[in-house]
Amino acid sequence: MKHFPIFLAMEGQKLVLSGGGDAALAKLRLLLKTEARIEVFTADPAPEIVTWAGEDRLNLTARALQPGDVAGAVLFYAADEDAREDARTSAIARAEGALVNIVDNLADSQFITPAIVDRDPVTVAIGTEGAAPVLARAIKRDLEERLPVTLGALTRIGKRFRRAAEGLPFGRKRRDFWADYYFTTGPRALAEDGPQGAEEALNTLLDTHLNAAPRAGHVALVGAGPGDPELLTLKARRALDEADVIIHDRLIAPEILELARREATLIDVGKEGFGPSTDQTRIAALMIRHARTGAQIVRLKSGDPAIYGRLDEELTALDAAGVGWSIIPGLTAASAAAASIGQSLTQRGRNSSLRILTGHDTKGFAEQDWAALARPGTAAAIYMAKRGARFLQGRLLMHGASPQTPVTIVENASRADQTVLQSCLATLAADLDRAEMSGPAILLYGLAPRAALAEIPQVPEAAHGP
């Protein structure tokens, strides 16, 4: 992030702009929305600038900027549309302590002006660090359509009520009140009875929340999917947004944790196959302790919590402690991995069933029906299989599986750093050793990438005589 977004307090502040043409007009249309004292210097002002000066919306000095003109200003815009003049005026502004923006000159500017969605006092700023203005405008257009024009009025009413709302305890109880106002009660009252109705509704709503019983703690056991944040379910995203505490595994992608509220407490419990991890008893104790404070907790697991996620153990502990819970399924790694190689996990005429195994539990791994798994056409998704690959290879070959049976290993399925290793049973262990995969990987037994299937020569059918 080369530009850090902030909202600068502009009420009563001096803001200076040099220029009087189209570039100056574009900036001034935006700057006039602020409560700054705007000073414009130009020998050739556009008619609109003259009109705004006549309306006392800005102060116009009909000459070029000179030393001393920017003193005391917080921001300066160089908008003369002439590189030499912009360099001259911006040098003056820097010397006199203002932050400088040179229109259409990102390299020499100290700040940039974002695209803005204005629902005053709600303001959404969109920046691309000058790389893609057309993208910023597209995002602005989308937000303009989605944010109702009444949002500003609703927010102004709420802002006047903030001191009264401080009677609610800070944290969850106060957030619940404001969520109720902005998303349910407020919009309905504003639509039915106007601003006065919305203000009256706030008083009633505050009494309701002040007298409401404390909200019980709750644990949502959420599947984070294989890693791509766009594969999260809508329900999972809503749970992350509402959570007070998020207890997550090591394999959760940082991009997914970014979706949590900034105020949420994030607790890394470091679960990973064959590596260091937090004891399951301690994880249960963490959930129970936070739930008893009334917190809304997300226990965030990679993939789907019901597939090798030790879900039952955690539910048993929560039940024993009397803590309420819910399960939000996630996309499991097998589905994401199969999609990444253009394959289906089941196929008519090939396999009507799918085996899901884990290589983490080597004792359980050894108890599989290897003869059935070795039959032609069998497909299996094997989680945490890197360490058990040699054992898998030996058992299957011993039970008659073809050495040429395709095996595909997908590391970091669905993520930007996903890698796909195409192998076969005969060379599986050696191929994995050479690949030196360090990320989470799933092994798809009996499946090859679709592109590889197209390269396999087809054997023509035998000709039949009369």
Find the mean pLDDT for residues 214-224.
93
Of the spans 72-76, 184-188, 361-365, which averages the highest pLDDT?
Answer: 72-76
The pLDDT value recorded for residue 454 is: 57
The pLDDT score that the predictor gives to residue 250 is: 86
The pLDDT tens digits of the residues spanning 276-304 come to: 567 899 999 999 999 999 999 999 999 99
Active site residue 271: yes
At residue 130, the pLDDT reads 76
Listed ranges 71-80, 265-274, 343-352, 361-370; the one with the highest mean pLDDT? 71-80
pLDDT digits (tens, 9 = 90+) for 413-451: 999 999 999 999 999 999 999 999 988 899 999 999 988
- Higher-confidence position of 6 and 464: 6
Would you state the pLDDT for residue 167? 87
pLDDT for 67: 97
Q: Which residue has the higher pLDDT, 368 or 443?
A: 443
pLDDT at 364: 53
pLDDT higher than threshold 60 for residue 272: no
**Predicted pLDDT at 361:** 60
Q: Inform me whether the pLDDT recorded for 98 exceeds 80.
A: yes
The one catalytic residue in 14, 27, 271, 386 is 271
- Give the mean pLDDT of the chain: 90
**Considering 86, 228, 244, 249, which one is annotated as catalytic?**
249
pLDDT digits (tens, 9 = 90+) for 31-56: 999 999 999 999 999 999 999 999 99
Q: How many CA atoms lie within 13 A of 411 on its CB side?
A: 12
Angstrom distance (rounded) from CA 409 to CA 337: 8
Mean pLDDT of 60-88: 97
For 163-202, how does the pLDDT look when each residue is reduced to its tens digit (9 = 90+)?
888 888 887 888 889 989 998 999 999 999 999 999 999 9
In which residue are the tokens 């009494």 written? 207
How much is the pTM? 0.69
Q: What are phi and psi of 290, to 5 degrees?
A: -70, -35
Does the pLDDT value for residue 458 go beyond 50?
A: no
For the question of residue 2 being annotated catalytic, the response is no
Phi and psi, residue 422, nearest 5° = -90, 125
pLDDT of 78 strictly over 70: yes
pLDDT above 70: residue 453: no
